[in-house]
Amino acid sequence: MACLITPDRIIPSLRSRDAKHVITQMSHVAAEAASLKPYAVLQAVVARGEHSTFGFGRGIAIPHAPVSGLKQPLGIFARLWPAHDFGAADGLPSDLAFLLLSPNGDDSTHLRALACVVRRLRDPEVAECLRSADDAEALYAVLTSDAWREPDDEPESGHSATPRASDLTNGAMCTTLNVLC
């Protein structure tokens, strides 16, 4: 996840009218980060949304699309206020959104990046911490690391490809990130 997102591409509280407004605002942030035209990014995401749903359930939306002009995948994360309907099968509105853009024509990279985002966000502990984190720095830590987990916490099998905190610190728990959520 750390290769997809940076702290400046996290929106701790995105106020919006509806799902399309969310996608518009997140597309503008992505376009600025990638030096692309905002309308081109928005059109790519909207076109992709016409053929699939972006609602993944449990209050999570992952709008995604390949975009011409990108050299590597790029992500934007936002907590939404209020939550909006992104067409999830469980019918729950989404209050967490991750916009994923990938280079056009590289489907395998897009699918690997999408799988990474889905794996991370479907972890119930990660989602809970994202909903309760105080600021962009805390959100970034939850998205990109497991250092915030208690030493005896284990992510559910298959729910996180991120290394455990003990793997990152030679067995010493990182106490500064332990209190983020």
Residues identified as active-site: 64
Distance, in Å, from the CA atom of 162 to the CA atom of 2, rounded to the nearest integer, reads 9
Asked whether the beta carbons of 76 and 67 are under 8 A apart, the reply is no
Distance, in Å, from the CA atom of 108 to the CA atom of 110, rounded to the nearest integer, reads 5
Indicate the angle between helix axes 107-121 and 124-132, nearest 10 degrees. 80
Only one residue has tokens 């720095």, namely 137
Beta-carbon contacts of 163 under 8 Å, excluding residues fewer than 6 positions away, are: 146
Asked whether the beta carbons of 109 and 103 are under 8 A apart, the reply is yes
